[in-house]
Homo-oligomer: A and B are copies of this chain.
Amino acid sequence: MKYGNRIARLRAEKELTQGELAEKVSISRASLSHYENDRREPDLDVLAKLADFFGVTLDFLMGRTNEPGRSLDPEVKDFVESLELADESIIQKFQLTIDGRELTSDEARRFIAFIRAERQMRGEA
Binding site for B on A (CB under 8 A): 1, 9, 41, 43-45, 47-48, 51-52, 55-59, 62, 64, 66-67, 69-76, 78-79, 86, 94, 96, 98-99, 101, 103, 107, 110-112, 114-119, 121, 123
Chain B residues with CB below 8 A from A1, complex form: 44-45, 48
- Min CB distance A24 to B, Å, is 14
Most B-side CB within 10 Å, residue of A96, A101, A112: A96
Residue in B41, B66, B79, B98 whose CB lies within 8 Å of A67 = B79
A125: nearest residue on chain B (CB-CB)? B99
Residue in B66, B86, B115 whose CB lies within 8 Å of A107 = B115
A58: nearest residue on chain B (CB-CB)? B58
Asked whether, in the complex, the Cβ of A58 is within 8 Å of the Cβ of B57, the reply is yes
Supposing A9-B123, A66-B121, A98-B112 touch, asked if A58 and B55 sit within 8 A by C-beta, the answer is no
Asked whether, in the complex, the Cβ of B66 is within 8 Å of the Cβ of A117, the reply is yes
Asked whether, in the complex, the Cβ of A62 is within 8 Å of the Cβ of B76, the reply is no
- Min CB distance A27 to B, Å, is 16
